[in-house]
Amino acid sequence: MQASRWLIAWALPLFLAGCVPTRDLNPDEIARLDNLEELMWTLATIADPGFALAEDPPVGPASLESFLDMGTRVGLAAERLPQFSEQPGFLTLAEQLRVEALGVAAAARAEDLDEAARLSLQMRNTCSTCHDIYRY
Ligand code: HEC
């Protein structure tokens, strides 16, 4: 039972990774992103496995490390967003994403899995809110 859950947790992102453009960029590469579409695929590549984890958080150091990595890299990616718009609403949501992502990383560092999961799902709402308003 536990084993099959782990299998799904690992296999599903790998499967999905085959279907969408993946941008599993490292922090240096993220800091140089200046293309919105590429930035968004980077966000999806990094955040989606974290969202899946947040919906059904297994306990253990591996989850904490995943949340730490996701929060850190999404936070960096969020720092790249302001260059694409001067709209106050867009900038507010970009900053919200950054703060939530750093919150995920901080919770993971504090070994608070529930908080890391809660903030991850809150962060997902921020993605959706921005898409509802600004994606065309
Ligand atoms: C501040 C606003 C904003 C936030 C926050 C945001 N997005 Fe986006 N996203 C956009 C916009 C605008 C587009 C359309 C870009 C385009 O098509 O050029 C988009 C498009 C996308 C796309 C489609 C890319 C394409 O061009 O086909 C994906 C995938 C995506 N976002 C994932 C995410 C994820 C995951 C998050 C959260 C971790 C997120 N986004 C947060 C504004 C945002």
pLDDT at 58: 72
Domains of the chain are 2-134 (1.20.120)
pLDDT digits (tens, 9 = 90+) for 80-124: 999 999 999 999 999 999 999 999 999 999 999 999 999 999 999
The atom of ligand 1 lying closest to the CA of 96 is 5
Average pLDDT over residues 55-60: 78
C-beta of 32 in contact with ligand 1 (< 6 A): no
The model carries a pTM of: 0.86
Q: From the CA of 42, how far away is ligand 1's center (Å)?
A: 10
pLDDT digits (tens, 9 = 90+) for 18-35: 555 678 999 999 999 999
Q: Is 123 exposed, middle or buried (0-12, 13-18, 19+ CB in 10 A)?
A: buried
45, 57, 116 from 119: Cα distances, Å: 18, 12, 5
pLDDT at 46: 96
The larger pLDDT score, comparing residue 58 to residue 39, is at 39
Residue 8 pLDDT level (bands cut at 50, 70, 90)? low
C-beta of 81 in contact with ligand 1 (< 6 A): yes
Rounded Cα gap, residues 75 and 80, in angstroms: 9
pLDDT at 118: 96
> What is the percent of the chain with per-residue pLDDT over 90, rounded to a whole number?
76
